[in-house]
Structure 1
Amino acid sequence: MRRRHFLQTLSLGAGAAALPAAMPAFAAAASTAVAATQPANDREYWWRMLDRIASPVVENLARGQLVRNMPVEKGANYGPEPAATYVEAVGRCYAGLAPWLALPDDAGEEGKRRRALREQALQGLANAVDPRSPDKLDFGAKWQPIVDAAYLAHALLRAPDALWTPLDARTKQRLIAAFQSLRDRKPWYNNWLLFAAMSETFLRSVDAAWDPMRVDYAINKLEEWYVGDGWYSDGPNFAYDYYNGFVMHPMMVDVLRVHSQRDKAFTEKYQRALKRMRRFGEQQERMISPEGTFPPIGRSITYRASGFQPLAQLALMERLPEKVTPGQVRAALTAVTRNVYDHPGTFDANGWLTLGFVGHQPEIADYYTSTGSLYMATLSFLPLGLPADNAFWTAPAEDWTAKRAWSGRSFPKDYHVDY
């Protein structure tokens, strides 16, 4: 049966010796196991899918085999340094995985898998900055690491007790040095300003030397670039794409959250940024079609459903908009996830993500897109950081706004805001 597509054109804007020595076709086996499993509920579907997406990156990095085993598919006229794709894969994958890894251990199947992945993630962080490791990440690979160090910093801010505190002192110092090394490059005059600010914000959070200028400049510019009704411009000119979701709202909110905890001067800005993200999240929920699809507009759509990061983060923070319930958000995002990731061709034979929006569509990749770029996909899974007994998971599934509207039923009237 052919799906009807949404016609609305608005956008969202630990030790290596303990690990097995060999990893034959681990990802393909994992993919087959996931596909053969019928999840008992939405949460099980979510965590198994996140595990399926993240495992190739996390497990290979833990074994020092990421560079050896990760295929590198590139967009036409690919521009970044080749080494940048591995920094992308790690930073982006960890950023969405972190909240789930932060949950306490338990004896269930999910808990056991989460613990194993957390231990591998910690070993991977050590390998990522170990000069002797074949997977040592190159944070000096021109400009792209400014972006993906920020996603790694975001991961560490989202799960400090799980991903930062357990690290040994040498690994911590190497990571700090890696973030500080980015200051010899200037970010582009757009959403990239937030990447520089995010790395510096993490440094402040662990009491390392940080640069207030890179933080203040980004915050002030984002304030200037706010165009109203929950939307930021991506630099001086507005762009009709998903970067409000990929970057602007989540990073602006979390940068300000961290600084407001140490300096009351940031409190009002944090509250205003959160208020704006809640408005944007309200719009995002409305943009999910009755079938669980969304418009393929703008650049970087190979990042798939990660544009819904603001809505996912609001769920994680338990700060969803007043007229949006956990049950409808879970139902809507589950439908989106199934449409995007259950489609043939989305994963290759060994379990790695392929270039595409739905399935394998390499022709839509941008010049800066490669396999590592795709692991932004984890960002729509943030609600897995909520425990299984949270209302997000236990509330009955509800029809989301577009599903109600297009079936002729009552639904909340929309409005614009002036903040």
Structure 2
Amino acid sequence: MRKSNYLWLLLVAVLLLPAQEMAAKKKKEKEVTDRELWAGVLYQMAAPVLSNMSEGKLQENMQVELSPTWDGRDKRVTYMECFGRLMAGLAPWLSLPDDDTAEGKQRRQLREWALKSYAQAVDPESQDYLLWRKEGQPLVDAAYVAESFLRGYDALWVPLDSLTKRRYIEEFTQLRRVDPPYTNWLLFSSTVECFLRKAGAKSDAYRIVSALRKVEEWYVGDGFYSDGPGFAFDYYNSFVLHPMYVECLEVFTNSGKNKIWNAPDCNFQRAQKRMQRFGMILERFISPEGAFPVFGRSITYRTGTLQPLALLAWRGWLPKELSNGQVCAAMTAVINRMFGDNRNFNEKGFLTLGFNGSQPHISDWYTNNGSLYMASLAFLPLGLPADHPFWTDAPQAWTSKKAWGGEEFPKDHAYYE
């Protein structure tokens, strides 16, 4: 009896083996690629915002969260923060040509929603007309809207109708009413003005050049700028200073071909090198487990901390010390760790206050959950086509993974000019 049972079990095991192999093969076939992970997260982030705003229903339907220490300003700043910051991160991806892949269909849908949302944002008759003409905060997020146009000019600005374009130029121009504080805010003014310049509208050269001069003065060395006269160890070099300084210089100097006669120290190529150094530091910040150090204000901006690294990858500016394979692998580890378990979205699908999950008490007095769409700024490399080496090169261990794994890894050296 025992022998027959044994033979029966052996027969069942032999018969099940092909099925198990097939199941394992199917599982392997269904493994999500790095690009699919990135695209899936960014679509999840963007769809609730743009699907609603394209119909003029974002302000009606967004599940708004305000910091427990909110300073009492008009909470409608939330919607402009949400839209502007999201579009600055989304623009490169939406600039890719259409295709019939699953990703391409998602991208096409988002672009259609985005173009309608841009129109809603400046239509005084729309329920989603943004808060352009009250408070100082709109200068900040107008800069991210302008940055989205700079990053996706042909795909996002050119297709807009003439009335919508005229309305944007009017709204951007009237923001000169805001006197920016002596901090990274100077770059918000200069980014808006640089976009006006690119679009052929009348721009204020003084607001551009004075900001560039001041940021140049604030460079403290080894890839870091101070955010104003005093240095603070936070991620504002990521959120604002490096990207907007380089992008404004790119526009104003025609990618370094022209010099600024009254600001000769403001050099596009040198600013690039500083950002490359800062990108190398960010790459070393990423732990073997896909975590990064949590310090400084606005830490609720999550993956927005990686924006310079993302910008370097998207623009093809990675330094020789960083390969596509290692940067993609490192950033994928962070994105998967932060967004892989869905804890960072609230019941209606909008980002929730916190760093990794709902942690409202770590938010600052100026933070709402629209502010958090700065997280999209890590996804700029989606603007590279799927067959670009950033996506196709074999994954490589990043610096801290090599170091903690006992492998050889490159020594770090300070950057001097």
Q: TM-score, normalised by structure 2?
A: 0.90
Per the TM alignment, residue 76 of structure 1 is displaced from its structure 2 partner at its CA by 2.1
Per the TM alignment, residue 55 of structure 1 is displaced from its structure 2 partner at its CA by 1.0
Q: Is the 8 A contact 2:35 2:391 kept in 1?
A: yes
Residue from 395, 398, 410 that aligns with 2:396: 398
Q: Is the 8 A contact 1:154 1:198 kept in 2?
A: yes
CA distance in 1, matches of 2:85, 2:315: 20
Q: State how 1:294-373 maps to structure 2 within 5 Å.
A: 294-373=292-371
Q: State how 1:11-410 maps to structure 2 within 5 Å.
A: 40-79=32-71, 80-261=73-254, 264-266=258-260, 269-410=267-408
Query: What residue number does 1:9 align with?
Result: none
What secondary structure does 2:319 align onto?
coil
Q: Is the 8 A contact 1:98 1:158 kept in 2?
A: yes
Structure 2 gaps, min length 5: 1-28
Query: What residue number does 2:5 align with?
Result: none
Per the TM alignment, residue 141 of structure 1 is displaced from its structure 2 partner at its CA by 2.5
1:392 aligned partner, one-letter code: F
Q: Is the 8 A contact 1:83 1:141 kept in 2?
A: no
Per the TM alignment, residue 344 of structure 1 is displaced from its structure 2 partner at its CA by 4.6
Query: What residue number does 2:10 align with?
Result: none
What secondary structure does 1:227 align onto?
strand
Higher RCO structure (Cα 8 Å, ≥6 apart): 1
CA distance in 2, matches of 1:373, 1:51: 18
What secondary structure does 2:297 align onto?
coil
CA distance in 2, matches of 1:95, 1:344: 23
CA distance in 2, matches of 1:194, 1:240: 19
CA deviation digits over 1:306-357, x for unaligned, max 9? 1100000000011111111000000000010111112453111221110010
Per the TM alignment, residue 58 of structure 1 is displaced from its structure 2 partner at its CA by 1.1
Q: Is the 8 A contact 2:37 2:336 kept in 1?
A: no
CA deviation digits over 1:100-152, x for unaligned, max 9? 00000111111111011101100000111111100001112311111000001
CA distance in 1, matches of 2:272, 2:358: 35
CA distance in 1, matches of 2:68, 2:179: 25
The alignment covers a number of residue pairs equal to 383
CA RMSD of aligned residues (A): 1.4
CA deviation digits over 1:255-310, x for unaligned, max 9? 00011118711496111111100111011101101111011101001100111000
CA distance in 2, matches of 1:222, 1:343: 39
What secondary structure does 2:267 align onto?
helix
1:221 aligned partner, one-letter code: K
1:122 aligned partner, one-letter code: L
Per the TM alignment, residue 408 of structure 1 is displaced from its structure 2 partner at its CA by 1.3
Q: Is the 8 A contact 1:343 1:358 kept in 2?
A: no
CA distance in 2, matches of 1:282, 1:371: 29
Q: TM-score, normalised by structure 1?
A: 0.89
2:192 aligned partner, one-letter code: S
- Select the structure of larger CA radius of gyration: 2
Q: Which moved more, 1:69-78 or 1:84-93?
A: 69-78
Percent identical among aligned pairs is 52
Q: Which moved more, 1:340-349 or 1:157-166?
A: 340-349
CA distance in 2, matches of 1:182, 1:349: 35
